[in-house]
Amino acid sequence: MTRIKLYNTRSRQIEEIIPENPDGILRIYCCGPTVYNYAHIGNFRTFLLQDVLRRLLIATGYSVKFVRNLTDVDDKTIRGAQKENISLQNFTEKWTHIFHRDCEELNILDADVEPKAAGHIGEQIAMIETLIRKKHAYIAPDGSVYFRLSSFPSYGKLSRIDLGKLTTQSENSSGQANLADEYDRDSVQDFALWKAYKPEDGDVFWKSPWGKGRPGWHIECSAMSVKYLGETIDIHGGGIDLCFPHHENEIAQTECATGNPFVRHWFHSEHLQVEGQKMSKSLGNLFTLADLKNRGYAPETVRYALISGHYRQILNFTLSGLDAAQSALNKLKIKIKNLHKNSEFTGNEDEIFSSKNITYRHFNGAIEALENDLNIPKCLGEIFSVLNGDATGGELFLEELYFLCFILGIEKFIFSKNRDRESVEIPEDIAELAARRWEAKRNKNFAESDRLRQSLSEKGWNVVDHREAYDLYQQ
Ligand SMILES: [Zn+2]
């Protein structure tokens, strides 16, 4: 088995990935989305990099159990359901469905287990009870339960945060910046494990030994990761913004409850910027996959662009970068197709999932780049440098390429035959509509071009724009 090396946020060193459990199964937990809105490309950058890591592990012979949760009860989901006047469950199911559809389009492998917070209230209450029993948590007069930070001296070691500089610590990702002011606390840094019921929670509450209420956000990951992966896991992933306080809190809760180390290897991916700026609602640059598809970019282009930077560096996402991603993908497809002509090769995913560990002869530079701290940009450079040389193809050559495309998650686009543009005949009325839309877009008449795109879509055709031309695909 190949050994993968990866930077560990905890030790600040690049370390080998070795499953701890004697069964050899590598246990991975990743913090999933809050299902209250479209996930944006910053979220997807993280999920895609986790997907590439998982694919790399599978394709190099590891057995992996991959758990990614869904946060379906917090301030944002409750507010969203109330606004639409539907039940929390109906609301979060709708957004879960949209998230799954986006993941499928981006070719993100399904998690082995995808637990939902609202489906694991009992496990969360049980963990909170243990923490209270062990004096790591206390009940406030209103019936909320807090983690007692002073009971866990190693708090802050992952993010190396200076606790002395902290004045408040709120559940920042649940959207309440000043939660600290609203709750009774022994000290300002303690965080909520259980939130007592408030009238604004409406019909969302569960019974607990401390009265009705709902779990705090952090406890779900601790409870569900212990349930599905055991007390110690091999890899825990998430965006760097989750490192503090969410992951610090996960460590505190889990280690105090179980008495064992929680995570052996922390895998954090860096932020995403859009056109050189921070992503924010006010700047209107929180792109979703749907936004980019509306601008004519195919999901595989979005995937390629989002994975093409090193995971430990900030990625500056730009529309011209997307154009470049599109042309790189097309170049790759054409080059491989030309090599394909002289070969009987057909890609086979079953071989990858049966842990066939191939030896790389032509593309050893590309696979080594991935094995050494998931260096995707270097891997892509190596692939192109081999293909730009005097590549002759052949079955083994194509097998290596197929495995690499699988790891990058672009195998369906590169090796699929039914999406071959030349082989599809385009009816005259469709071609005519598409030409009118292109003309409208070039004249910056976006309302008209959107209308025509919609009518093409209703007739079963999708259009993908490039800088100087467009392609039509049958749905
Ligand atoms: Zn989490």
Residue 295 lies inside a defined structural domain of this protein: no
Distance 351 CA to ligand 1 centre (A): 32
Ligand 1 centroid to residue 70 C-alpha, Å: 9
For residue 301, being part of any structural domain is answered with: no
114, 67 in Cβ contact below 8 A? yes
Asked which of 239, 269, 299 is the last residue of a domain, the reply is: 269
Cα 217 to middle of ligand 1, angstroms? 8
* Residue 190 lies inside a defined structural domain of this protein: yes
Name which of 301, 407, 363, 378 is nearest 60 in CA terms.
407
Q: What are the 10-residue block averages of pLDDT along the chain, 475 residues in total?
A: 90 97 96 97 98 96 96 96 96 97 97 98 98 97 94 91 61 37 52 95 97 96 98 97 93 98 98 94 91 94 98 97 95 86 74 81 96 98 93 85 96 72 68 88 84 86 73 73
- Give pLDDT, residue 188: 55
Domain count for the chain: 3
> In angstroms, what is the span from residue 304 Cα to ligand 1's centroid?
26
Of 269, 286, 319, which residue constitutes the final position of a domain?
269
Are residues 345 and 440 part of one domain? Answer: no
Q: CATH code at 346?
A: 1.20.120
Torsion angles phi and psi, residue 137, rounded to 5: -145, 160
Among the three residues 269, 296, 322, which one is the final residue of a domain in this structure? 269
User: From ligand 1's centre to the CA of 457, what distance in Å?
Assistant: 38
- The number of beta carbons lying within 10 Å of the beta carbon of residue 341 is 7
For residue 33, the CA-to-ligand 1 centroid distance in Å is: 9
Phi, psi of 80 (to 5 degrees): -60, -45
In the prediction, which pLDDT does 342 show? 66
Question: What is the Å distance from ligand 1's center to 387 Cα?
Answer: 41
Based on the domain organization, do 262 and 320 belong to the same domain?
Answer: no
Task: Report the separation in Å between the CA atom of 256 and the middle of ligand 1, taken as the mean of its atom positions.
Answer: 16
**Domain of 438, in residue numbers:** 428-474
Same domain, 390 and 442: no
367 domain-assigned: yes
424 CA distance to ligand 1 middle (Å): 45
Residues 400 and 445 in one domain: no
From ligand 1's centre to the CA of 108, what distance in Å? Answer: 19
Tell me how far the alpha carbon of residue 31 lies from the centroid of ligand 1, in angstroms.
4
Q: C-alpha distances in angstroms, 99 versus 93, 307, 357?
A: 10, 18, 32
Whether 321 and 216 map to the same domain: the answer is: no
CA of 247 to the centre of ligand 1 (A): 6
Peptide bond connecting 245 to the previous residue in cis, omega within 30 degrees of 0? yes
The Cα–Cα gap between 102 and 95 comes to 11
Question: Do 84 and 187 belong together in one domain?
Answer: yes
- Rounded distance from Cα 212 to ligand 1 centre (Å): 23
The C-alpha angle 298, 299, 303, rounded to 5 degrees, equals 125
Tell whether pTM > 0.75.
yes
Residues 96 and 238 in one domain: yes
In a domain, 294, yes or no: no
Q: Tell me: do 409 and 439 sit in the same domain.
A: no
Q: How many A from CA of 459 to the centre of ligand 1?
A: 42
Same domain, 445 and 338: no
**164 and 62 share one domain:** yes
What's the 218 CA to ligand 1 centre distance in angstroms? 6
pLDDT of residue 408: 98
Ligand 1 centroid from CA 254, angstroms: 12
What is the Å distance from ligand 1's center to 69 Cα?
8
- Residue 29 Cα, ligand 1 centroid: separation in angstroms? 8
Domain membership flag for residue 197: yes
Q: Would you state the pLDDT for residue 180?
A: 40
- At which residue do the structure tokens 């390629």 appear? 304
Residue 259 located in a structural domain? yes
Quote the pLDDT of residue 95: 97
Domain with residue 9: its CATH number is 3.40.50.620
On whether the CB atoms of residues 21 and 230 are closer than 8 A, the answer is yes
Residues 19 and 53 in one domain: yes
Q: Are residues 218 and 157 in the same domain?
A: yes
State residue 160's pLDDT score: 87
Whether residue 359 lies inside any domain: the answer is yes
How much distance in Å is there from the Cα of 190 to the middle of ligand 1?
18
CA of 62 to the centre of ligand 1 (A): 24
Say what the pLDDT of residue 184 is: 39
Say which residue the tokens 């946020």 belong to.
9
